[in-house]
Amino acid sequence: MKFTKMQGCGNDYVYVNGFTEKIEADKKAEVVRFLSDRHFGIGGDGVIFINPSDKADFEMEMFNADGTRSEMCGNGIRCVAKFVYDYGMTTKTKDLPIISGGHVKYLDLELGEDGKVSMVKVNMGAPILTPDQIPVIAVGERAINLPITVQEMEYHMTCVSMGNPHAIIFVDDVMAMNLEKIGPDFENHSMFPRRTNTEFVQIVDRNHVKMRVWERGTGETLACGTGCCATAVACVLNGYTDNKVEVEVLGGKIFIEWDREANLVYMTGPAVTVFEGEINI
């Protein structure tokens, strides 16, 4: 099977051209776990299949490293746009429609000096704030600054969905957090019917925050595009930042704007091809 390894701010996935590579649906989870393994496979935060679609130009079929499906990946969808443009599968650089988890996103591509995609801006759509749609077990119209107890310590979280669930925790120092210890307990907490991604966020100023993320089904990653979007929304809802936020993650910087009037979140960040190869599965 041919593949391409790509990353957006260090959030790395194995990309497979679903137009030419065919894997039976009931075998995909096993294949994903093998490909994602950093010791025995290729290594990545998961696997993304780029498939035909009758509802958009392309479908992004995303799997976490543990073989479970995920609805959306912000860094992943930017790399899908780079993949299809760089490999000549599209000539569009504006409003490129890609569907993932049943929702179509529109992407604008910025080309580098080599004529290949270097940066991508994604219209991520409206943030979902209603608790039962995120989903999170909470009373009220929004889940803002809610208490949650993990390992006998109380935190406060704001919950947002950008097509997948996020719980944002504001902390004084993100680098002091032991995510390996507490991340799994947040992910699998009983308040989250479908588990959750958890962002730990430090406010630097009104346009700049630092973030670390524990991703559902993967663990700590160097970046999470939807997590950056959810983080910016949570920052605004809590009055910590303006509508334009630079989110500094372990793998780089992602720029988020929440257009409050249109209620749309825009994400801009890099997309990089690491290497190509072929592997027996």
Catalytic residues: 73, 224
d(CA 143, CA 159): 5
Helix and strand numbers (H, E) in the chain are 4, 18
Tokens of 13: 């996935």
| Residues 13 and 46 sit within 8 Å (Cβ to Cβ) | yes
Amino acid at residue number 71: E
| Residues 270 and 118 sit within 8 Å (Cβ to Cβ) | yes
d(CA 244, CA 230): 13
d(CA 214, CA 238): 21
Question: Can you state the angle between helices 225-237 and 74-86, rounded to 10 degrees?
Answer: 140
For residue 44, give Cα distances in angstroms to 166, 182, 202, 236: 21, 22, 26, 32
Phi, psi of 249 (to 5 degrees): -110, 175
Q: What is the dihedral of CA 110, 113, 117, 119, to 10 degrees?
A: -50
Tokens of 39: 């010791």
Mention every residue, 6+ apart, whose C-beta is less than 8 A from residue 262.
Answer: none
